[in-house]
């Protein structure tokens, strides 16, 4: 049975993605004219790093697909939720959760 995904949460600035427990299924980081970086943390801005991505300036999007790849699924277990630090002018990230 296929995993049902919520609509993505699209972020264009640093901040909380969710304040509840969740499992990350897919993350898409899209750069613009500058190098794009994304750090996801469990437990707010000072929490544990669970994912760190980088995409080249003017390059292709970086896709991290935990539902298809042979990767452990990052799970947000804290009551504080999932925090994203997004860097790079014009960068956007789409975060799909279960």
Segment 14-25, tens digit of pLDDT: 999 988 888 888
Q: Which residues contact 73 (CB under 8 A, 6 or more apart)?
A: 23, 24, 25, 66, 67
Average pLDDT of the residues in 58-83: 78
Q: What is the pLDDT of residue 1?
A: 42
Segments making up each domain of the chain, as ranges? 9-97
Which is more confident, 41 or 75?
A: 41
Q: What is the pLDDT of residue 80?
A: 79
Segment 25-36, tens digit of pLDDT: 889 999 999 999
């Amino acid at each position: 049975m296929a995993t049902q995904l919520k609509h993505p949460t699209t972020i264009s600035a640093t901040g909380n993605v969710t304040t509840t427990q969740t499992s990350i299924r897919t993350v898409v980081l899209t750069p613009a004219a500058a190098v794009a970086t994304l750090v996801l943390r469990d437990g707010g801005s000072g929490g544990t790093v669970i994912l760190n991505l980088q995409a080249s300036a003017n390059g292709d999007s970086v896709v991290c697909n935990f539902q298809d790849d042979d990767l452990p699924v990052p799970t947000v277990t804290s009551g504080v939720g999932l925090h994203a630090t997004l860097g790079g002018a014009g960068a956007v990230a789409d975060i799909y959760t279960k």
